[in-house]
Amino acid sequence: MKIAFASGKGGTGKTTVAVNIANILQQTGADVQLLDCDVEEPNAHLFLLPRIAWSVPATVRRPDVAEEHCTGCGVCAEFCEYNAITVFKNTVIVFPELCHGCGVCAQFCPERIITESDRAIGVIEGGAAGGIGFVQGRLNVGEVLAPPLIRQVKEKAPKAAVTLIDCPPGTSCPVIEAVRDMDLVVLVSEPTPFGFYDLTLMAATLKTLAIPSGVVVNRCDIGNDELYRFCDREGLPILAEIPHDRRIAECYSRGALITESLPAYRELFANLWQQTLTLLPSRPDR
């Protein structure tokens, strides 16, 4: 099973929930791995302290133009959906940061003078934290193409009975790539105006993608019940409520796991996992 933890906005506690669920599953002997797909600022490793065993570069394809044979026809620029290649006075200019590596320019070049080479955009690292498999992606500084790196993190991860994915914040392309092919998405929100608004955006996104979801309300006692009314209207089950507890904030600031430092919360996360299982769609192989 593959379960993603998303939020719509940053700072709601999705990483906190993901790493503590992973720890609860590890304690039961489950075959579990966590993929940190928040590749612009991965931080799950700060809590799990994994031993990194391997590292590989993440690359995208970029066009190389043999300009001495170019006729300046402009077909490559015409077909590029990302404006990553243009022709100016018979000179082909490539903008590598905009290129998505789709290969359309090479495919449609009438002179067949465009080839492709690899361009590094980041790194993928993997290992283990006790009984938890761990893979993360780190985007190079200055790069803007997070989706290809997220896709490669998911491809490089070994098979596991349970794969947990810590998503980037927001509802844009990186998040779409992270939740693609998930069995379920756990939305971690908070009852604040920003938290509620971004939850509505993420819920609408998942409805469009036809991915089932449930909600964890973090710091549940700091706001009003507008979030709860929304979840009731939309049929979004509340999987768990985490109180606004200073001790949790102190654990987070130390990089400690709640389920280790505050044993009283182990039952909350164990129950959260059981509630999550009830939402998983039935499959012939499960």
Q: What's the mean pLDDT in 263-268? A: 96
- 32, pLDDT greater than 80: yes
The tens digit of pLDDT for each residue in 95-112 reads 988 888 889 999 999 999
- 284, pLDDT greater than 60: no
pTM above 0.75, yes or no: yes
The tens digit of pLDDT for each residue in 141-195 reads 988 889 999 999 999 999 999 999 999 999 999 999 999 999 999 999 999 999 9
Beta-bridged to residue 228, according to DSSP, are: none
pLDDT range class, residue 93, cuts 50, 70, 90: very high
123 close to 59: Cβ distance less than 8 angstroms: no
The tens digit of pLDDT for each residue in 197-220 reads 999 999 999 999 999 999 999 999
On average, the pLDDT of the chain sits at 94
Which amino acid appears at position 118 of this protein? Answer: D
Q: Is the dihedral of CA 47, 263, 130, 151 positive or negative?
A: negative
User: Exposed/middle/buried for 119, CB within 10 Å: 0-12, 13-18, 19+?
Assistant: middle
Give the pLDDT of residue 286.
45
Domains and CATH numbers, the chain: 2-58+122-279 (3.40.50.300), 67-112 (3.30.70.20)
Look-up: residue for tokens 């290809």? 148
Separation CA 179–CA 156 (nearest Å): 16
